[in-house]
């Protein structure tokens, strides 16, 4: 959520900045609602005050044993006017709420203009896309051997976009999770946390998935209203919901492995082959809760931590800064890391690292006590994948494939896999 004060006082400026994101803010409608809100709020509060004054007088008169009949009559006359004003006011407030809840975050000034993926700006590339002296297969073909990637079984059990992994690939998948968690917690200073995979609507609202993106998530049936998490960002960032942190509790750096569930509504036909786009995938997520003045440094740091995994696994990648049009709802600035996939002969997203500034914090009511300042201040929240495990697995299969169809295990992963040299 944006600062309501900012919306009221600098509406044209806010609207201009949101345009970079491809969001059209109906300024006329907003101002009109705001004006209405103001008049009706003043009216409603005035009437309420009149009633309060009289009610108090009744109490005092009764205490003294005086007659209260005339006062009672005065109050009765206020009734209709007041309930009409109240009704109008809450109607307007609902309309304003419905509008502001769906306004995305304002892009940071360093975010390039642009419409979609095509306009994202490359920041750097690392490593060289591998050249093979044979025809490179994609992970689907590589995984077919011994049904290490069993797409048929996934479909049988659950339908499209679900996959079963077996044997060496299942082990590699597990090894990757542990490797990532170890690097981030041991070398990068993150606290490892384990969280629920089902969350309340309040949690999804806090990080911005609700109310605008209801159709993207899986809601479970049952007496309780719960959703499967689309990313660990939701439960982990919500850890600071409704809390005021003391200065020594900031920054917080947390790493968390969870499965992620996405309905992928609206992406029918995209990436239908292979592991790239699944309804269920696993991810190791990095989250930082920081002081506002530190958040852009934290974004660079966190992105570097995600890059470190790719570098340790010796996977070629590039780093892009998302243009306004490609930026997510809650993000002010996002770096995507894209790993090289020989099977597709292109770079594919494997991590997305965002600074949400105080946008999520305002919805979460997550604040900290800034020394020397009376009011608690909203924190800034940073999150990023470190990394998407399924896609990392794809990258390893495709980048480490041999002419004979076998797949080498990256050096640093071998200790996790009984020091084997190849996946089998």
98 touches RNA (CB under 7 A): no
C-alpha to C-alpha distance for 180 and 349, rounded to whole angstroms: 17
Please indicate whether residue 88 is annotated as part of the active site: no
Among 15, 170, 244, 412, binds RNA (CB under 7 A): 244
Among 2, 22, 33, 54, binds RNA (CB under 7 A): 54
Among 13, 32, 45, 300, binds RNA (CB under 7 A): 45
Among 100, 103, 81, CA closest to 34: 100
Site for RNA in 370-389 (CB under 7 A): 374-376
What kind and span of H or E run contains 4?
Answer: helix 4-9
**Quick one: 270 or 375, whose CB is closer to RNA?**
375
C-alpha to C-alpha distance for 401 and 422, rounded to whole angstroms: 10
Q: Which of 203, 330, 351, 352 is catalytic?
A: 352
Q: Which of 348, 367, 391, 398 is catalytic?
A: 391
259 touches RNA (CB under 7 A): no
Q: Could you give the string, one character per residue 56-95, with x where binding to RNA holds by CB under 7 A and - elsewhere?
A: x-xx--x---------x--xx-------------------
123 touches RNA (CB under 7 A): no
CB of 72 to RNA, least distance (A): 5
Residues pairing with 351 in the sheet: 337
Among 12, 13, 38, 411, binds RNA (CB under 7 A): 38
Please indicate whether residue 54 is annotated as part of the active site: no
Among 26, 29, 52, 300, binds RNA (CB under 7 A): 52
**Quick one: 147 or 249, whose CB is closer to RNA?**
249
C-alpha to C-alpha distance for 389 and 282, rounded to whole angstroms: 5
C-alpha to C-alpha distance for 180 and 302, rounded to whole angstroms: 13
Q: Could you give the string, one character per residue 168-197, with x where binding to RNA holds by CB under 7 A and - elsewhere?
A: ------------------------------
Are the CB atoms for 88 and 122 separated by under 8 Å? no
CB of 389 to RNA, least distance (A): 24
48 touches RNA (CB under 7 A): yes
Please indicate whether residue 267 is annotated as part of the active site: no
What does the DSSP 8-state code read for residue 323?
A: P
CB of 242 to RNA, least distance (A): 8
Q: Which of 161, 203, 262, 367 is catalytic?
A: 262
Please indicate whether residue 367 is annotated as part of the active site: no
Cβ neighbour number for residue 78 with a 10 Å cutoff: 14
Q: Calculate helix-pair angle for 27-64, 69-100, nearest 10 degrees.
A: 150
Among 163, 139, 160, CA closest to 150: 163
31 touches RNA (CB under 7 A): no
Question: Phi-psi region for residue 347, left (φ > 0), alpha (ψ -120 to 50) or beta?
Answer: beta
Q: Give the position of tokens 């660990």.
A: 232
**Quick one: 127 or 259, whose CB is closer to RNA?**
259
C-alpha to C-alpha distance for 322 and 90, rounded to whole angstroms: 39
Burial class (CB in 10 A: 0-12, 13-18, 19+), 421: exposed
C-alpha to C-alpha distance for 13 and 21, rounded to whole angstroms: 13
Please indicate whether residue 102 is annotated as part of the active site: no
Q: Which residues are catalytic?
A: 262, 277, 349, 352, 391
- Judged by the rule CB under 7 A, the positions of this chain that interact with RNA are 4-5, 8, 38, 41-42, 44-46, 48-49, 51-56, 58-59, 62, 72, 75-76, 223-225, 244, 374-376
């Amino acid at each position: 959520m944006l600062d309501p004060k900012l919306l009221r006082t600098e509406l044209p400026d806010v609207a201009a900045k949101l345009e970079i994101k491809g969001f059209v803010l109906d300024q006329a409608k907003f101002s009109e609602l705001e004006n209405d809100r103001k008049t009706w709020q003043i009216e409603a509060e005035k009437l309420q005050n009149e009633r309060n004054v009289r009610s108090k007088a009744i109490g005092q008169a009764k205490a003294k044993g005086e007659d209260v009949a005339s006062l009672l009559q005065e109050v009765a006359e206020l009734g209709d006017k007041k309930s009409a004003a109240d009704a109008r006011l809450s109607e307007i407030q609902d309309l304003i709420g419905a509008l502001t809840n769906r306004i995305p975050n304002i892009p940071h000034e360093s975010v390039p203009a642009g419409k979609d993926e095509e306009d994202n700006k490359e920041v750097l590339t690392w490593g060289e896309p591998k050249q093979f002296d044979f025809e490179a297969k994609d992970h689907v073909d590589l995984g077919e051997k011994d049904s290490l990637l069993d797409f048929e079984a996934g479909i049988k059990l659950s339908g499209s976009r679900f996959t079963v992994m077996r044997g060496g690939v299942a082990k590699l998948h597990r090894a990757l999770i542990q490797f990532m968690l170890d690097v981030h917690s041991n070398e990068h200073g993150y606290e490892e946390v384990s969280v629920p995979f089902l969350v309340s609507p309040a949690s999804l609202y806090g990080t911005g998935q609700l109310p605008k993106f209801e159709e993207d998530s899986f809601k479970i049936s049952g007496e309780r209203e719960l959703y499967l998490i689309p990313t660990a960002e939701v439960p982990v960032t919500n850890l600071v919901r409704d809390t005021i942190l003391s200065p020594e509790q900031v920054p917080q750096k947390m790493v968390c492995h969870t499965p992620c569930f996405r309905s992928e509504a609206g992406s029918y036909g995209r990436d239908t082959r292979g592991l790239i786009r699944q309804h269920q995938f696993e991810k190791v997520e990095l989250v930082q809760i920081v002081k506002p003045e530190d958040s852009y440094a934290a974004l660079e740091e966190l992105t570097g931590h995600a890059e470190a995994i790719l570098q340790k696994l010796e996977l070629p990648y590039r780093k892009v800064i998302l243009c306004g049009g490609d930026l997510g709802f809650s993000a002010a600035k996002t770096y995507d890391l894209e790993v090289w996939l020989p099977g597709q002969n292109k770079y594919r997203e494997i991590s997305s690292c965002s600074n949400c500034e105080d946008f999520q914090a305002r919805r979460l009511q997550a604040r900290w006590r800034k020394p020397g300042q009376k009011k608690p201040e909203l924190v800034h929240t940073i999150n990023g994948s470190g990394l998407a495990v399924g896609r990392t697995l794809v990258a390893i299969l495709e980048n480490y494939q041999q002419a004979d169809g076998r797949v080498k295990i990256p050096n640093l992963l071998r200790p996790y896999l009984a020091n084997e040299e190849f996946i089998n």
